[in-house]
Structure 1
Amino acid sequence: MIRTLLVDDQELVRAGLRMLCESTSDIEVVGEAPHGGEGIRLAGRVQPDVVLMDLRMPGTDGVTATRTILGERPATRIVVLTTFDDDEHLYPALAAGACVFLAKDATPAELLDGIRRAAAGGSPFSDDVLRRLVGQAVRSRAERPDLPLTPREREVLGLVGMGLSNADIAARMQVGVTTVETHVANLMDKTGSPSRVHLAILAVRHDLTPDNGKR
C-alpha cells in the first residue's frame, strides 16, 4: 500500500484527489493539509511514502515544504502538482528535491501512474512540464559546462531526456535494465543531479536528445 499525503490549499482539489486515490486498491490517503506548514507537521506524524504537493499556498509554500520534508525524511517522494502560471516555482521545487512534476490538468490515469512510479523510485514528468523546466533552466543558467561523460552515458542521458523509462531505454539500446540503472546512477553522481528530471533538463540543455520525434 502506498501511503500518500495530500497538500493543497483548495479543499475541493483535495477531495477530488482523495476520491481518485481511494478508487484504487494500492494507494491510501493518510492525511490532508491545507498549507505547507501543516504538510510538514503531518509528514512527520503519518510518515507517507508519497506527498502530492501544491506549489503555491498561503504561509509555507510547496517549495519550502518540500525542502523541509526531505530534510527530515529523505526517503519521502514528493510529487509536485503545477499549473501553467507556476513556472517561477518549478526550478526551485526541482532544486529542493521533488522527483515528479505533473500538470494539474493531467488525466486521472496519469496522476495515479505518477504516484505509483514515484513510490517505485521513478521520476515521471509530463512533456509540457519538462519543456517549462528546461526553459527556466536555460534562462537562469546561460552557460553550459562540459559534461565529463562517456559516449554510452551521453546516449543514456539523451534517452532520459526524451522521458523514456529504464525499461524503454534498455529495449532501445538492446541492453539489460540493470545496465541502464547503473548508467543512470553514474549520471546522477557525475552531474550532481538529485533526480531523473534534473538529468532530463541537462540532456535537453546540451542537445543530447535524439531528434526523431519518438517518445
Structure 2
Amino acid sequence: MSDISRDKIRILIVDDHITVLEGLASIINRQTDMAVVAKGQDGGEAIDFWHKHRPDIILLDLRMPVTNGIDVIAHILQEDPKARAIVLTTFDSDNELASAIKAGAKGYLLKDAEIGELLDCIRKVHRGGTCIQHSLIEKLAQGIHGIPLSGREKEVLQLLARGKSNKDIGSQLFISETTVKSHLRNIFSKLDVANRTEAIMEANRRGLIHL
C-alpha cells in the first residue's frame, strides 16, 4: 500500500470487529480523495501500523484488545504531536469522551453517525480542524467542567457498586464508617444524585465504573 498517491488522505483503521473494519475500509476506499493504508484489530497493531505507515489519519475504536484506544492515542501523540486521531466508537460516556480529547483525539464520532458525517470529519481533521459529533458536545462539557472524583472516592464507589455496606467498605479500605459516609456525601454531590442506587447508575453512565 506504500504506492498510494500522496494527494490522497492516507488512513489507518483499527477496530476489533472485523465486519466494522472491512465495512469502513470499503467505504473509505471508494472516496476519490482517501485511501486505507492499513487495517488493525487491536491496540498493539494500531501502534505498529502507525510506525510503519505514518498515516495522515488514524481512525480507531476505544475499547480494544492489547491496548485501549486512549492509550494508543496518547502513545502516538507523544511521539508525533502532529498526528491526527479520530475516535469512532459505540461508547458515549462523558468520562471516555473527555479522556479521548485530553489524550489528543481530534475527532469523536459514534458508530451510528451518518457515513457523510464520518467522511466530512476525516476531511476536516485532515485540514487541521476538530470534529465532535454534535450530540456529544454537551457531554464533553460535562466531562471537562464537572468536579472530578478523588482516588479514594472512586475506590468507595467501586465497592459500593459491588453491593458492599458502609461497614464492609470501611473494613476493606481501613477507614471508619464515618469517613465512608463523608466520602459518599461528596460522591452524591459531585454526581448530582440523591442515593446509592442513583450514584451507581450515574457512575456507570459516565464510564467511571463498569457493571
Match of 2:81 among 74, 84, 106: 74
Structure 2 residue aligned with 1:60: 67
Tell me by how many angstroms 1:86 deviates.
4.5
Structure 1 residue aligned with 2:26: 19
Structure 2 residue aligned with 1:36: 43
Q: Match for 1:56: what amino acid?
A: R
Tell me by how many angstroms 1:106 deviates.
0.7
- 1:181-205 C-alpha deviation (Å, 9 max, x unpaired): xxxxxxxxxxxxxxxxxxxxxxxxx
Q: Describe the shift of the 1:140–1:29 C-alpha distance in structure 2 as closer, same or farther (beyond 3 A).
A: farther
Asked if the contact 1:91/1:133 (under 8 Å) is kept, the reply is yes
Tell me by how many angstroms 1:135 deviates.
1.8
Q: Is 1:126 aligned with 2:129?
A: no
Asked if the contact 1:55/1:86 (under 8 Å) is kept, the reply is no
Structure 1 residue aligned with 2:56: 49
Structure 2 residues without counterparts, runs of 5 or longer: 1-7, 150-211
Tell me by how many angstroms 1:23 deviates.
1.2
Q: Match for 2:33: what amino acid?
A: D
Match of 1:91 among 92, 98, 105: 98
Structure 1 residues without counterparts, runs of 5 or longer: 143-215
Q: Describe the shift of the 1:27–1:135 C-alpha distance in structure 2 as closer, same or farther (beyond 3 A).
A: same
Structure 2 residue aligned with 1:115: 122
Tell me by how many angstroms 1:50 deviates.
0.3
Tell me by how many angstroms 1:9 deviates.
0.8
Q: Describe the shift of the 1:38–1:140 C-alpha distance in structure 2 as closer, same or farther (beyond 3 A).
A: farther
Aligned length: 142
Asked if the contact 1:6/1:51 (under 8 Å) is kept, the reply is yes
Asked if the contact 1:3/1:28 (under 8 Å) is kept, the reply is yes
Tell me by how many angstroms 1:141 deviates.
5.2
Structure 1 residue aligned with 2:142: 135
Q: Match for 1:101: what amino acid?
A: Y
State the superposition RMSD in angstroms.
1.6
SS at structure 2 position matched to 1:102: strand
Tell me by how many angstroms 1:73 deviates.
2.2
Relative to the length of structure 2, the TM-score reads: 0.64
Matches within 5 A, 1:117-196: 117-140=124-147
- Work out the CA distance in 2 between the residues paired with 1:137 and 1:7: 26
Relative to the length of structure 1, the TM-score reads: 0.63
Instruction: Pick the structure with greater CA Rg.
Output: 2
- Work out the CA distance in 1 between the residues paired with 2:52 and 2:91: 32
Asked if the contact 2:94/2:142 (under 8 Å) is kept, the reply is no
Tell me by how many angstroms 1:85 deviates.
4.8
- 1:151-172 C-alpha deviation (Å, 9 max, x unpaired): xxxxxxxxxxxxxxxxxxxxxx
SS at structure 2 position matched to 1:76: coil
Q: Describe the shift of the 1:135–1:29 C-alpha distance in structure 2 as closer, same or farther (beyond 3 A).
A: same
